[in-house]
Structure 1
Protein backbone atom coordinates (compact mmCIF):
# COMPACT_ATOMS: atom_id res chain seq x y z
CA UNK A 1 0.00 0.00 0.00
CA UNK A 2 1.45 3.34 -1.01
CA UNK A 3 1.76 6.19 1.45
CA UNK A 4 -0.89 8.23 -0.36
CA UNK A 5 -3.41 5.37 -0.27
CA UNK A 6 -2.67 4.82 3.42
CA UNK A 7 -3.22 8.54 4.01
CA UNK A 8 -6.51 8.48 2.09
CA UNK A 9 -7.66 5.41 4.00
CA UNK A 10 -7.31 7.10 7.41
CA UNK A 11 -9.13 10.34 6.54
CA UNK A 12 -12.25 10.70 8.72
CA UNK A 13 -14.55 12.13 6.04
CA UNK A 14 -17.70 11.18 7.96
CA UNK A 15 -17.08 13.97 10.50
CA UNK A 16 -16.59 16.78 8.02
CA UNK A 17 -19.62 18.76 6.81
CA UNK A 18 -18.05 19.58 3.42
CA UNK A 19 -15.73 17.59 1.19
CA UNK A 20 -13.16 19.02 -1.18
CA UNK A 21 -12.98 16.66 -4.16
CA UNK A 22 -10.14 16.97 -6.68
CA UNK A 23 -9.90 15.05 -9.95
CA UNK A 24 -6.35 13.70 -10.04
CA UNK A 25 -6.54 11.24 -12.95
CA UNK A 26 -7.71 11.76 -16.49
CA UNK A 27 -11.16 10.89 -17.78
CA UNK A 28 -10.19 9.29 -21.14
CA UNK A 29 -10.12 5.53 -20.94
CA UNK A 30 -12.51 5.28 -18.00
CA UNK A 31 -15.83 3.46 -17.91
CA UNK A 32 -19.01 5.21 -18.98
CA UNK A 33 -20.41 4.84 -15.45
CA UNK A 34 -17.34 6.60 -14.01
CA UNK A 35 -17.57 9.39 -16.58
CA UNK A 36 -21.22 10.00 -15.76
CA UNK A 37 -20.45 9.98 -12.04
CA UNK A 38 -17.69 12.57 -12.50
CA UNK A 39 -20.06 14.64 -14.63
CA UNK A 40 -22.65 14.51 -11.84
CA UNK A 41 -19.96 15.69 -9.40
CA UNK A 42 -19.12 18.49 -11.91
CA UNK A 43 -15.52 17.35 -12.28
CA UNK A 44 -14.50 17.93 -15.89
CA UNK A 45 -10.75 18.63 -15.88
CA UNK A 46 -7.75 17.29 -13.97
CA UNK A 47 -6.58 19.13 -10.86
CA UNK A 48 -9.93 20.93 -10.47
CA UNK A 49 -11.54 20.97 -7.04
CA UNK A 50 -15.23 21.08 -6.18
CA UNK A 51 -16.88 21.41 -2.78
CA UNK A 52 -19.79 19.10 -1.97
CA UNK A 53 -21.84 18.47 1.14
CA UNK A 54 -20.92 15.29 2.96
CA UNK A 55 -23.99 13.13 2.33
CA UNK A 56 -24.34 9.37 1.89
CA UNK A 57 -25.21 9.94 -1.78
CA UNK A 58 -22.00 11.86 -2.47
CA UNK A 59 -19.93 9.33 -0.49
CA UNK A 60 -21.43 6.53 -2.61
CA UNK A 61 -20.51 8.38 -5.79
CA UNK A 62 -16.98 8.89 -4.48
CA UNK A 63 -16.70 5.21 -3.64
CA UNK A 64 -17.26 4.44 -7.34
CA UNK A 65 -14.55 6.80 -8.58
CA UNK A 66 -12.16 6.65 -5.62
CA UNK A 67 -9.18 5.82 -7.82
CA UNK A 68 -9.73 8.95 -9.92
CA UNK A 69 -10.22 11.54 -7.17
CA UNK A 70 -8.61 12.84 -3.99
CA UNK A 71 -10.95 13.61 -1.11
CA UNK A 72 -10.01 16.19 1.52
CA UNK A 73 -11.64 17.87 4.47
CA UNK A 74 -11.62 21.65 4.80
CA UNK A 75 -8.59 21.64 7.13
CA UNK A 76 -6.61 19.32 4.85
CA UNK A 77 -7.42 21.43 1.79
CA UNK A 78 -6.40 24.69 3.47
CA UNK A 79 -3.17 23.16 4.78
CA UNK A 80 -2.27 21.88 1.30
CA UNK A 81 -3.02 25.27 -0.28
CA UNK A 82 -0.85 27.05 2.34
CA UNK A 83 2.01 24.60 1.73
CA UNK A 84 1.78 25.14 -2.04
CA UNK A 85 1.67 28.93 -1.60
CA UNK A 86 4.75 28.86 0.63
CA UNK A 87 6.54 26.72 -1.92
CA UNK A 88 5.78 29.23 -4.69
CA UNK A 89 6.50 32.32 -2.60
CA UNK A 90 9.17 34.73 -3.79
CA UNK A 91 12.43 34.39 -1.95
CA UNK A 92 15.12 37.05 -1.66
CA UNK A 93 17.80 36.63 -4.31
CA UNK A 94 21.04 34.95 -3.38
CA UNK A 95 23.89 37.36 -4.15
CA UNK A 96 27.32 35.86 -4.65
CA UNK A 97 30.32 38.13 -5.01
CA UNK A 98 33.29 36.76 -6.92
CA UNK A 99 35.53 39.63 -5.91
CA UNK A 100 38.05 38.96 -3.15
CA UNK A 101 37.25 40.41 0.23
CA UNK A 102 38.91 43.78 0.86
CA UNK A 103 42.07 43.52 2.94
CA UNK A 104 42.07 45.37 6.21
CA UNK A 105 45.22 46.81 7.71
CA UNK A 106 46.29 44.89 10.72
CA UNK A 107 47.69 46.90 13.57
CA UNK A 108 50.82 45.64 15.25
CA UNK A 109 51.55 46.58 18.79
CA UNK A 110 55.21 47.21 19.46
Structure 2
Protein backbone atom coordinates (compact mmCIF):
# COMPACT_ATOMS: atom_id res chain seq x y z
CA UNK A 1 0.00 0.00 0.00
CA UNK A 2 1.45 3.36 -1.05
CA UNK A 3 0.70 6.15 1.39
CA UNK A 4 0.69 9.70 0.02
CA UNK A 5 1.04 11.45 3.38
CA UNK A 6 2.61 9.76 6.38
CA UNK A 7 1.02 12.12 8.87
CA UNK A 8 -2.46 13.59 9.02
CA UNK A 9 -3.61 16.59 11.02
CA UNK A 10 -6.87 16.23 12.93
CA UNK A 11 -8.78 19.20 14.32
CA UNK A 12 -11.87 18.91 16.48
CA UNK A 13 -14.61 21.31 15.43
CA UNK A 14 -17.80 22.75 16.85
CA UNK A 15 -21.13 21.60 15.58
CA UNK A 16 -23.36 23.96 13.62
CA UNK A 17 -25.59 24.65 16.61
CA UNK A 18 -22.74 26.51 18.35
CA UNK A 19 -22.19 24.13 21.23
CA UNK A 20 -18.69 24.43 22.64
CA UNK A 21 -16.62 21.47 23.70
CA UNK A 22 -16.94 17.82 22.96
CA UNK A 23 -18.33 16.63 26.28
CA UNK A 24 -21.26 19.06 26.41
CA UNK A 25 -22.63 18.31 22.96
CA UNK A 26 -26.08 16.82 23.24
CA UNK A 27 -26.59 13.86 20.95
CA UNK A 28 -22.94 12.81 20.92
CA UNK A 29 -22.65 9.16 21.74
CA UNK A 30 -20.38 7.95 24.50
CA UNK A 31 -18.56 5.80 21.93
CA UNK A 32 -17.80 8.92 19.87
CA UNK A 33 -16.52 10.79 22.91
CA UNK A 34 -14.29 7.84 23.80
CA UNK A 35 -13.01 7.69 20.22
CA UNK A 36 -12.12 11.40 20.29
CA UNK A 37 -10.36 10.83 23.60
CA UNK A 38 -8.40 7.93 22.06
CA UNK A 39 -7.36 10.28 19.24
CA UNK A 40 -6.30 12.76 21.97
CA UNK A 41 -8.78 15.38 20.83
CA UNK A 42 -9.93 16.47 24.24
CA UNK A 43 -10.93 20.08 23.54
CA UNK A 44 -12.64 21.91 20.73
CA UNK A 45 -10.52 23.54 17.99
CA UNK A 46 -7.39 21.61 18.98
CA UNK A 47 -5.14 19.99 16.39
CA UNK A 48 -3.18 16.76 16.79
CA UNK A 49 -0.88 14.88 14.42
CA UNK A 50 -1.44 11.18 13.86
CA UNK A 51 0.16 8.56 11.65
CA UNK A 52 -1.79 7.62 8.55
CA UNK A 53 -2.79 4.07 9.50
CA UNK A 54 -5.91 1.96 8.93
CA UNK A 55 -6.58 1.99 12.68
CA UNK A 56 -6.72 5.78 12.77
CA UNK A 57 -8.90 5.86 9.66
CA UNK A 58 -11.32 3.41 11.29
CA UNK A 59 -11.65 5.70 14.30
CA UNK A 60 -12.07 8.73 12.04
CA UNK A 61 -14.87 6.99 10.17
CA UNK A 62 -16.88 6.99 13.42
CA UNK A 63 -16.35 10.66 14.27
CA UNK A 64 -16.03 12.21 10.80
CA UNK A 65 -18.70 14.84 11.57
CA UNK A 66 -16.71 16.10 14.56
CA UNK A 67 -13.23 16.19 12.99
CA UNK A 68 -11.49 18.02 10.13
CA UNK A 69 -8.86 15.86 8.42
CA UNK A 70 -5.98 17.61 6.63
CA UNK A 71 -2.67 16.72 5.05
CA UNK A 72 0.46 18.57 6.16
CA UNK A 73 0.50 21.06 3.28
CA UNK A 74 -3.20 21.85 3.70
CA UNK A 75 -2.72 22.41 7.43
CA UNK A 76 0.27 24.72 6.95
CA UNK A 77 -1.57 26.73 4.30
CA UNK A 78 -4.57 27.19 6.61
CA UNK A 79 -2.35 28.21 9.52
CA UNK A 80 -0.52 30.74 7.34
CA UNK A 81 -3.82 32.19 6.12
CA UNK A 82 -5.10 32.53 9.70
CA UNK A 83 -1.82 34.13 10.81
CA UNK A 84 -2.03 36.69 8.01
CA UNK A 85 -5.63 37.40 8.96
CA UNK A 86 -4.66 37.98 12.60
CA UNK A 87 -1.63 40.11 11.73
CA UNK A 88 -1.88 43.63 13.07
CA UNK A 89 -1.33 46.62 10.88
CA UNK A 90 1.39 49.06 11.96
CA UNK A 91 0.31 51.39 14.77
CA UNK A 92 -0.95 54.84 13.95
CA UNK A 93 1.15 57.43 15.80
CA UNK A 94 -0.73 60.56 16.79
CA UNK A 95 1.14 63.48 18.30
CA UNK A 96 -1.09 65.70 20.46
CA UNK A 97 1.63 68.14 21.41
CA UNK A 98 1.74 71.53 19.70
CA UNK A 99 4.59 71.88 17.23
CA UNK A 100 7.69 73.30 18.79
CA UNK A 101 9.68 76.18 17.33
CA UNK A 102 12.56 73.78 16.50
CA UNK A 103 10.25 71.69 14.29
CA UNK A 104 9.02 74.66 12.27
CA UNK A 105 12.49 76.11 11.58
Q: Which runs of 5+ in 2 are unaligned?
A: 15-20, 94-105
| Relative contact order higher in (CA < 8 Å, ≥ 6 apart) | 2
Aligned length in residues: 82
The TM-score normalised by the length of structure 2 is 0.72
Q: Which runs of 5+ in 1 are unaligned?
A: 1-13, 96-110
Q: Which runs of 4+ in 1 moved over 6 A?
A: none
The TM-score normalised by the length of structure 1 is 0.69
Q: Does 2:41 correspond to 1:52? A: no
Larger radius of gyration: 1
Q: Does 2:24 correspond to 1:23? A: no
Which of 70, 77, 93 does residue 75 from structure 2 map onto?
Answer: 77
Alignment RMSD, CA only? 1.5
